[in-house]
Structure 1
């Protein structure tokens, strides 16, 4: 395992440990380092530009959500939304199973319907729109294989946990730990799933959608 990967796992472990221990000073220090380290790791493995962009927009969302304000929440949600668009373009036209699409559609409608009345009125439409985009990304990720598909599902779970907090629903103990654990696993699985899929489909070092080939 390379040094960048080791550094990434170490920082992720430190961030999760600080959340689990309730050490509030740790999260603002470790969280901003996580996506840049994943980007650096991805670049060493020839990641396509759209994957790098998706991770960087995720980083923007991470930074915004460090601030406890509604405006920061909206900025963070917007940054993540752009990242999901990058993922969707990157996934291309590969086919995902239609039955899985039906399950995701039911989950989307059910979750938004349950949360709607408990969300702040000015956040209902933005959250619903973001949820539609996120669910589409999660569904389409499954077309790249189980690894990326699991990453998409965990991203949906992580953001659903955030939404239940915004709606002031009862939370698990240490909710920030579970949100970050599922989010970090999601981004790692999506990134590595995209790169593995590109290597299988095009040959190692070849271009994915959104990346031109040098050959």
Structure 2
């Protein structure tokens, strides 16, 4: 398998190609690049674990697999494709939440200053849903998006417990999905070429994966069978 640097460079190149495809409206370019993004990050995570003599986190790998499925689903058009993509990304967020919680997020978020992070994301989520609710209701998607938003905010909150890189990645992932929701609700779009959703999504996922791969691992406990014999 290529080195971590090569895999990360490949991810950056494919991301740039995908953003160019979005900016120019190239459906073929998007079709060729978007399904490759998360598998490249999964390969990076796998190689990072191998280099450190550890197994890659299966929950994070599962999150990337579900994200790949969501990326492919959202290449389609219509409500069915959108709902399928949202369901797959919901599964990805559940996997991330389990991984982050297993890594100690629940305890960390009960102590200041991180105790204010879930509160901030809750306020942001309620405000965003209130702003978008009429448009989401007209599209018949208000309830599914609201449920998804709760999982998304929980993922971003638990990510914040694992350092600035993973935390920023979770925030960017949330921002990317918020941009999608504003488009669905037809309440506004950012100026410039239509690259912001994929730019924040790719950056967010990359920060989560590289930050998670770089976190310190606890030394394996010494069992009686492996302990050195007494002199």
TM (norm. structure 1) is 0.89
RMSD across aligned positions (CA): 1.7
Between the aligned partners of 1:43 and 1:50, the Cα distance in structure 2 is 12
User: Any conservation in 1 of the 2:139–2:184 contact (CA below 8 Å)?
Assistant: no
Q: Tell which deviates more after alignment, 56-65 or 174-183.
A: 174-183
Equivalent position of 2:182 in the other structure = 164
- The answer to whether the aligner puts 1:115 opposite 2:132 as a matched pair is yes
Equivalent position of 1:202 in the other structure = 218
Equivalent position of 2:229 in the other structure = none
- The answer to whether the aligner puts 1:100 opposite 2:117 as a matched pair is yes
TM (norm. structure 2) is 0.83
How far apart are 1:2 and its partner, in Å? 3.1
Equivalent position of 2:195 in the other structure = 177
Query: Given the alignment, which residue of 27, 38, 47 partners 1:24?
Result: 27
Q: Which segments of 5 or more consecutive residues in structure 2 lack a partner in the other structure? A: 50-55, 221-225, 227-231
User: Any conservation in 2 of the 1:158–1:178 contact (CA below 8 Å)?
Assistant: yes
How far apart are 1:174 and its partner, in Å? 4.8
State the 4+ residue runs in structure 1 displaced beyond 6 angstroms.
none
Query: Given the alignment, which residue of 76, 95, 98 partners 1:89?
Result: 98
> Are the structure 2 counterparts of residues 179 and 121 from structure 1 closer, same or farther at C-alpha, using a change threshold of 3 Å?
closer
Q: Which segments of 5 or more consecutive residues in structure 1 lack a partner in the other structure? A: 207-214
Between the aligned partners of 1:138 and 1:2, the Cα distance in structure 2 is 26
Q: Tell which deviates more after alignment, 134-143 or 29-38.
A: 29-38
Query: Given the alignment, which residue of 47, 54, 58 partners 1:49?
Result: 58
More contact order relative to length (CA 8 Å, sep ≥ 6) = 1
- Deviation track 1:14-60 (CA, whole Å, cap 9, x = no partner) reads 11122223333311111111111111111111121111000110111
How far apart are 1:133 and its partner, in Å? 0.3
